Amino acid sequence: MPLLKLYRLATIAATPFAGAGLNWRASHGKEDRDRLDERLGVASRERPEGRLIWLHGASLGETVSLLPLVERFIQRGAEVLVTSGTVSSARILTQRLPAGAFHQYVPLDAPRFVNRFLDYWRPDIAVFAESELWPNMVASLRTRGVALLLANARISRKSAERWSGLPSAARRVFGAIDLCLAQDSENAARFLALGAPCVRIAGNLKFDVAPPPVDAARLAEFNGAVGARPVWAAVSTHAGEEELILAAHAEISKQIPNLLTVIAPRHRERGAEIAELAQAQGFATALRTRDGEPRRETQIYIADTIGELGLFFRSVGVVFMGKSLVPGGGQNPIEPAKLGCAVLYGPHIDNFNEIYTELAAAKAAARVADAAALARAAQYLLSEPARMRRMGRAGAEAVDKLGGASRAIMTAVEPFLAQVAASGR
């Protein structure tokens, strides 16, 4: 039996158990209990009149990268539906989506839920971010004649290799993409090899995203609590990295005894676990959701909130980007670079290699191999504020020069918009 047919049958068989699965996830904080019906394809608001463009990203990073396109589609007179699958992305989008755009959770990829969703929303064009392709959804869009575009398209080497081992399924899924707008030549080649019929290079949308916003009062409170203390941040850290950050803090503190280290884990629910780890090593530790602002004696400050990275990027001069000292592919450094932070990163950055290469070439970022190297680099920059500021300015200039993807993507989308207008939809 063909693999995609088997997948479809499996999702149909699992449909009766979807509610129970969602309730279990909600009990663990992985779903929004008040909006579970949206995951079953049930809308929680009315469809607006006129053209509707559907933009979809898997989670926070992907959906935020779509914000420049949201603005441009609204300027073209369309209403914009933005979907995602995570609680954190829904919260941030609620804050950042402009008038004319709204959020819903994406339905689970079972035919009943997908068809219910598409029957109600009737999108004119679907634009998915990176490589978020679900077989049943892709098939249903193709059956309905809805153009499917992949924007900011990126697929990791490992994912491409897995798909290439399933050539028939890959051709059916990737072959259904009407237009693939890849971030760079390397990703373009992967999508072509997997069967995407029309691939262009448009650049990385994340360079066009505005810096994360900040609440001015909270920024003032945090800076007032920190005062003149030297402070740096380790952001989007993953399990196994916090021990290395704490080791770096201990080493830096030998030379800078009043140092404050901010740790913002990628998954905020790990905050208490990280706090316990720091306390067990004898560090005075504060958890933002529990203890509020850091106190004078605080050494390790765990930023376990959602939507406040803009605050910390504006308050520190040095940022280490996580998921890079342990194997994982790295995290995107564009936001701290835009806000003038000197960026440090580990060796495991496969998913963002091109961005880090650009920043390193501009002398805006530096690679560190381990905790000892991280401590040396952070200590040097904290002790040499002029050097730290030069790195920050270089990063802001570099990412500004690399912008323009949203304009290129809209130019490529124009024929599809014209086709929708000509059809009278």
* Structure confidence at residue 425 as a pLDDT band (50, 70, 90): low
* Over residues 262-284, mean pLDDT: 95
Q: Which two tokens stand for residue 114?
A: 């997908």
- Looking at residue 422, its pLDDT comes to 80
Q: What is the DSSP letter of 97?
A: P
Mean pLDDT to the nearest integer, 149-170: 93
The mean of the pLDDT values for the chain is 95
131/168 Cα distance (integer angstroms): 18
For residue 346, pLDDT beyond 60: yes
For residue 307, the model assigns a pLDDT of 87
> In whole angstroms, what is the distance from residue 414 CA to residue 172 CA?
25
Q: Is 329 exposed, middle or buried (0-12, 13-18, 19+ CB in 10 A)?
A: middle
pLDDT of residue 351: 84
CB-based contacts of 68: which residues, under 8 Å, 6+ apart? Answer: 205, 208, 209, 405, 406
Are 36 and 22 spatial neighbours (Cβ–Cβ below 8 Å)? Answer: yes
What's the one-letter identity of residue 407? R
190-225 pLDDT tens trace: 999 999 999 999 999 989 988 988 999 999 999 999
Structure tokens given for 22: 């969602």
pLDDT at 35: 97
Question: What is the model's pLDDT at position 97?
Answer: 94
CB 135, CB 109: distance < 8 Å:
yes
* Res 319 pLDDT > 90: yes
E strands present in 110-185: 125-129, 147-153, 179-182
Q: Which residues are catalytic?
A: 62
pTM above 0.85, yes or no: no
pLDDT band per the 50, 70, 90 thresholds, residue 424? low
For residue 162, give every residue at least 6 positions away whose Cβ sits within 8 Å of its Cβ, in sequence order, or none: none
Kindly state the average pLDDT of the residues 12-36.
Answer: 95
Give the model's pLDDT for residue 385: 95
Q: Has residue 107 got a pLDDT over 60?
A: yes
Q: Using alpha carbons, list the distances in angstroms from residue 19 to 36, 62, 111.
A: 8, 26, 15
pLDDT band at 369 (very low <50, low <70, confident <90, very high): very high
